[in-house]
């Protein structure tokens, strides 16, 4: 009960903060998508000399698509966790008052009449807390998976640079910019994912 309702920062606040961080990653995913589209268009203009690079744009698109899906899924879990944490905290408060009333009226004639309400509230609290912890665990696993998968962005950017060197010098700058963009945006997303993970670790 204390972890949810009395912590340094309530869990429903943490869940909302995680959702806010991941909202920013969606904008970054759009940047990667745009980068891939621009690179594909440039590859098509150049022709066979940029075939190797053109193939890489597919993987850049895949990276953006995966990241966007993962961020959306985690975001939905964060919203669900926020709602569950709020309901759990309210139930915990109600349970606290029920216990206080029962203790205060322990010698009253009809004190036993509170037993049913207290038992129902305790069961409801246990169910909500269990549901909340399950959602929280899913979020943490997905955040770690997303962080792991984003590591492939560094390798992808490096391969892009290699392929850029094989293109006519007049066009190299375009493809080097693509590689740099993939690196930069992936780093921004990783930073937000790390922030989200730290928010949970702080509890």
Specify the pLDDT at position 12: 67
Specify the pLDDT at position 77: 86
Average pLDDT estimate for 168-183: 80
More confident of the two residues 92 and 107: 92
Domain count, the chain: 1
Q: CA-CA distance, 43 to 175, in Å (whole number)?
A: 9
Provide the whole-model pTM: 0.72
**Domain interval for residue 154:** 2-201
More confident of the two residues 24 and 62: 62
* Planar angle of CA 101, 104, 108, nearest 5 degrees: 100
Specify the pLDDT at position 45: 77
Specify the pLDDT at position 4: 43
Interval 30-45: pLDDT, tens: 777 787 787 778 777 7
pLDDT band at 1 (very low <50, low <70, confident <90, very high): very low
């Amino acid at each position: 009960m204390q972890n949810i309702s009395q912590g340094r920062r309530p869990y429903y606040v943490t869940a909302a903060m995680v959702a806010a961080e991941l909202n920013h990653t969606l904008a970054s995913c759009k940047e990667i998508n745009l980068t891939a589209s621009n690179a594909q268009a440039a590859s098509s203009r150049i022709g066979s000399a940029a075939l190797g690079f053109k193939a890489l744009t597919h993987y850049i698109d895949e990276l953006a698509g995966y990241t966007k899906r993962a961020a959306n899924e985690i975001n939905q879990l964060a919203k669900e966790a926020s709602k569950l944490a709020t309901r759990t905290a309210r139930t915990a408060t109600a349970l606290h008052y029920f216990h206080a009333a029962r203790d205060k009226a322990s010698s009253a004639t009809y004190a036993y009449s509170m037993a049913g309400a207290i038992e129902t509230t305790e069961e409801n609290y246990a169910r909500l807390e269990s549901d909340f912890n399950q959602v929280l665990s899913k979020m943490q696993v997905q955040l770690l998976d997303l962080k792991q998968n984003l590591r492939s962005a560094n390798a992808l950017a490096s391969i892009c640079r290699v392929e850029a060197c094989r293109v006519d010098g007049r066009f190299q700058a375009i493809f080097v910019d693509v590689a740099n963009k993939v690196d930069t945006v992936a780093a921004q997303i990783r930073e937000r994912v790390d922030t989200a993970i730290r928010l949970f670790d702080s509890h």
